[in-house]
Structure 1
């Protein structure tokens, strides 16, 4: 038999063997739009270009503060957060300290006490701090907290508690925190013009049902949470200091970066792709000034989150705010 038929036979046999192998599992866990052309894209907003993972790793090494955004219940965002923490741990220095939105500032003494007592299990820490009871998807956060404990890194409770935020929304930041704290946190500084998008974003987050007279209080509460998270990050004695929080909190135009001093802040948003935005050109300049870098992933859901909210409120006999 000539070499050519032998080569052809070998190629056909190899193809048959490969056809019997199971297809590799998708890298992604979020179920929707996994085949979207932007999924997996890492985009430098400032440079307007795609980054490789190695490019991103190099960007991270120069930052004093690394802010990692998320959609709270997207498992891919948490998995990629873990990748970023590993990169930072392999960089110069002793490794990152990590601040979490899911823990309230008032819980920091309990965290310190538990760690001093030798607690090394994230499950126990999360249970005693009642993370799931406060409606956070704790199973998604648990591996990240376990990583911090396993590597003996500083862990900071970053968030303003929900009861205090609600009081600020009703009574105002100065009435709840005091004038001195408002000044120290930077809450007396007006947001830049671009940051006024916060008002519209809060209205959209409430699906048009937030009464107009309550918008100002909600803006104060959101700003207070961002300022407290920034203050919490600065308590970390190590650099880089990492914050894991929702995408809205890590935005440069009105989020935590506004309250952090100087340079050295890197904001990395983890964004779910949209069916109607299949190319970077579809975003225009809407990302400009919001994040330094964005990392696109599939979506957890494709339903309109406002529809269920609207039906629930209408069932209670409520009308949109005006």
Structure 2
């Protein structure tokens, strides 16, 4: 069944594809920017970012969520960490589970790189406060199909028209690349940067489209809620210039408020607020990484 939502290309081995899909699932590298402020408003759509493995960032965000709950109860929590094809199981888990551990035991997918203990306090809070949790992400297989085949692989015709999505070759008119060509180009650069500058541009386009498809799905989940809702996703997804907030604006929705939790500064146009979190020591993800054996294409 297609969702209301094109890689390949040449130089990728079977061994490398899971790595790339894993990096894409875990979102892009933290964008560069740096403001620090608390989210004091009560917007219709509150987009809260994260560095996925940063415990202090999770704690800081949870404090903001608790503050929001004290003033204005949201109707739903949209979570990147669960795929849309898990919604039935997520609904059942919320019905029968009183603890985050119970819910995660029922929903956890093997092989995905989420550090679930970091999400347990948030999930427990949602269970305690009876806030519905909505699965907001494309599955890895759906993202793979977008990378290889284009938006039409998972989005139906009505959704393609609604979001004005077109794959290359759909028309001979250059105007058909609009209105999202700038966002696509920016997403391509983010994807290339996230892959240590080694990704050929021919592959980056498909991966950027998969990232955009994920953002559209999350935006659509927010729009489906009857009232206030909060999105929990990686910093790349909550960005105002190219992420979910962009697609909400395109849909004519009420303004969203984007709050990034980042280890380094991002451009001021990418978020309404940012909480600076300390840089965390990690192995160099670029050490020894070789994605293609041919000369890099010039972006």
Shorter-normalised TM range: 0.7 to 0.9
Given that 2:39 and 2:273 are in contact with CA atoms closer than 8 Å, whether structure 1 keeps it comes out as: no
Secondary structure at the aligned position of 2:261 is classed as strand
Q: How many residue pairs align between the two structures?
A: 251
Q: 1:150 to 1:319 in 2, by over 3 A?
A: farther
Secondary structure at the aligned position of 2:246 is classed as helix
- What is the TM-score of this pair, normalised by structure 2? 0.76
Secondary structure at the aligned position of 1:248 is classed as helix
Secondary structure at the aligned position of 1:306 is classed as coil
- What is the TM-score of this pair, normalised by structure 1? 0.71
Please give the residue correspondences for 1:1-322 in structure 2 after superposition, counting only pairs within 5 Å: 43=35, 51=37, 56-58=38-40, 60-61=41-42, 63-92=43-72, 94-116=73-95, 118-131=96-109, 133-188=111-166, 190-191=179-180, 193=182, 196-239=185-228, 241-260=229-248, 261-273=252-264, 287-301=267-281, 304-307=284-287, 311-313=288-290, 318=293, 321-322=296-297
Q: 1:192 to 1:176 in 2, by over 3 A?
A: closer
Q: How many angstroms does 1:312 deviate by?
A: 4.2
The range that moved more, 152-161 or 118-127, is 118-127
Secondary structure at the aligned position of 2:271 is classed as coil
Q: 1:321 to 1:127 in 2, by over 3 A?
A: farther
Structure 1 residues 27-71: Cα deviation after superposition (integer angstroms, max 9, x where no partner):
xxxxxxxxxxxxxxx83xxxxxx64xxxx343x22x110101111
Please provide the CA RMSD for this pair.
2.4
Q: 1:147 to 1:320 in 2, by over 3 A?
A: farther
Secondary structure at the aligned position of 2:111 is classed as helix
Q: 1:164 to 1:74 in 2, by over 3 A?
A: same
Given that 1:88 and 1:96 are in contact with CA atoms closer than 8 Å, whether structure 2 keeps it comes out as: no
- C-alpha distance in structure 2 between counterparts of 1:180 and 1:193, whole Å: 23
For 1:36, the equivalent position in structure 2 comes to none
Q: 1:164 to 1:111 in 2, by over 3 A?
A: same
Given that 1:85 and 1:96 are in contact with CA atoms closer than 8 Å, whether structure 2 keeps it comes out as: no
Q: How many angstroms does 1:195 deviate by?
A: 6.5
Secondary structure at the aligned position of 1:112 is classed as helix
- C-alpha distance in structure 1 between counterparts of 2:39 and 2:284, whole Å: 35
Secondary structure at the aligned position of 1:313 is classed as coil
Q: How many angstroms does 1:320 deviate by?
A: 6.1
Q: How many angstroms does 1:319 deviate by?
A: 5.4
- C-alpha distance in structure 2 between counterparts of 1:180 and 1:138, whole Å: 35
Q: Which runs of 5+ in 2 are unaligned?
A: 1-33, 167-177
Structure number with the bigger relative contact order (C-alpha 8 A, sep ≥ 6) is 2
Secondary structure at the aligned position of 2:135 is classed as strand
